[in-house]
Structure 1
Amino acid sequence: MKSFLSLLASLALAGAAFAQTPQPPEVAAKSYLLVDLTSNQPLAEREADAPADPASLTKLMTAYIVFNAIKEKRLTLEQTVAVSKRAWEERKGGGSLMFIDTTMQPKVEELLRGMIVQSGNDASVALAEAVGGTLDQFVAMMNRQAQAWGLKNTTFKNVTGVTEAGHKSTARDLAVIAGHIIRDHPDFYTLYSIKDYKYNNIAQPNRNLLLRRDPTVDGMKTGYTEAAGYCLIASAQRDFPNGKRRLLSVVLNTTSMEARANESQKLLNWGFQAFDAIRLFDTSKPMVTVPVWKASAKEAKLGPAEAMYVSVPRGEGGNLKTNLERTDPLVAPLGKGQRVGTVRVTTASGTKVAEVPLVVMEPVEQAGIFGRAWDSLRLWIK
């Protein structure tokens, strides 16, 4: 299966292959990206690969590394963390804080809420030190993960997002990180929907204004520095007759908290209204049954490796065509999940919309010696 980044990079904008291409709204942001996470297709973008200061959107990767550590049982939610002088010194930088100090031993779960809801730089440092031992080692972990995902335009220099030379990312790369949190750590993703958090008798609201304005928005993260402007990644899930759809918007370098919320809302509403997510295939049903040679069974069931959705301009679903390209002849043994071809979805004019591997849905064992010999002869004659 393609990585999330390669899907975003290789798939054309969903409307581009169709005669009636929806025009995105005017967006007052230096760069932006709207992605349908149900189909992994970008719907609209501007300067999505331009390097930018990610500000506190950096903390998405910080959180992902911490989530991995918890999943791998290198850290627990109930574990307490000693607050270092380095974490306490974050209050000197003028950024967002959870307001922990060196006399406290907050739990990992409390620090996660402080980092995600309150965007606390001090909480981010404390968690990074707990996982990586040192900030330098943790930053190296962040960059290795970015490299593993193929994020060629992202380099991390710190765990908080404070402005630093060489610390950069892009709207597309940040969408990949956010998408991985939603997919890989759905239980932790719920933390991004918390509207308020109180710690050390200091209550702070989540700065993602859309959490209070749109009930379908359930995360993700805000960011601001003078260099980055006001930034927001927002994700919304809405119900439709053919199932749930999730969109993710990234807006970078807007002029205010209101602007980043308004531009994100504009993109989300447009994406849900202008596009349909069409479920093309179901992994529980074969697309085709074909003959197999030298096999204990006469036929093999073939289908997509996973359920497949495509985003198309509203009302254009009927103009899609599905083509199967497969290896022939198929010769046993065949393993479940073995790729034997490609499922390609195109418009009526032949423009590719998407493609996925065509795989064997059930294993097919090899025939006995006489069956294999007989089929060898038939293949030779054929």
Structure 2
Amino acid sequence: MTIDPTVTSDPWEPAALRARLDEAGQRAGDAGLDALLVTPGPDLRYLCGYDALPLERLTCLVVRVPGDPALVVPRLEAPAAAASPAGVTGLDVVTWDETTDPYALVASLLTDARRVAVDNHMWAEKVLRLRAAMPGVEQRLAGDVLHQQRMRKSPAEIQALRVAGAAIDRVHERMGQWLRAGRTEREVAAEIAEAIRAEGHATVDFVIVGSGPNGASPHHEVADRVIEPGDPVVVDIGGTTRAGYCSDSTRMYAVGDPPADFLAHYDVLQRAQAAAVGHVRPGVTCASVDAAARQVIADAGHGDRFLHRTGHGIGLETHEDPYIVAGNDLELMPGMAFSVEPGIYLPGRHGARIEDIVVCTSDGVEPLNRTTHDLVVLPA
């Protein structure tokens, strides 16, 4: 698949959704399944465009193999389903009333089923009630089917991720407006969150501002610590756009001149992140991308200070397959989108991380974040 920067099509077009449903059914059949059962969450939105509320009432997409898919919804939620992209896909919408048993209704659509798969995000209550409604039917996880499908983004999805990446880049470009000595991490984070929305996101998913020693905790987020002159600051931010696709980017800042030892660590980190991004191409494994970053850091004597995997897939979720980690021998294919984010963390002193979202293309890699990887030194 060639990644075309001019693509502007909508990932929620009816034709795209029908193709996703058809592919999901084909994959389910190849896996020996008679149906996929998908409740509110990212898998449901991916397959039919319905971003349904996760309620105690059952909403369930039934992808039958063979057969046409059906969307089972409470009658009071039918207008919301019809107003979503699912409403123009030609899906058979089956409604149920307050006195109806919706689990028996799902079972009635699958009278010949012997093996079904439930989505990985399904509430345990719903899993067990579906099992009770279909006692002779084997249940598996649908992620074994759907995550393989969702890993390879379409050109329209990649375009949506480009838009998300550009939006979060614009926030990083404004960091000098907020980040300075004498302010708390929490104060800075609040203004960053406002900017994430202003620059094109529907929601703020996370804001990590780790100053000085707090930067040594990879998921520190924010505290009331006052930023001091000379502090290195980790800023890791992301959100979800109105199209439903996520951003995630980490850049490093210093408020005034940072310590000399930090600059040495940062040089190592830049080389490690560049090595991992440069390694991305079709056919290499997720583990080998992780190793490309890890080797540079280990050679510099900091291997035990790189605490986490090198990356995670991204799309409708900030964290999804594929995971860029040792032991994952999955080969990269064009259309896979994921983060490359090595880090070096020294407890009690400082930490550093550089993160880009990248896409594996037909002949290499396309980074979706374009702001500088250099340490940005801001006035104290």
Q: TM-score, normalised by structure 2?
A: 0.22
Higher relative contact order (CA 8 A, sep 6+): 1
Bigger-Rg structure (1/2): 1
Q: TM-score, normalised by structure 1?
A: 0.22
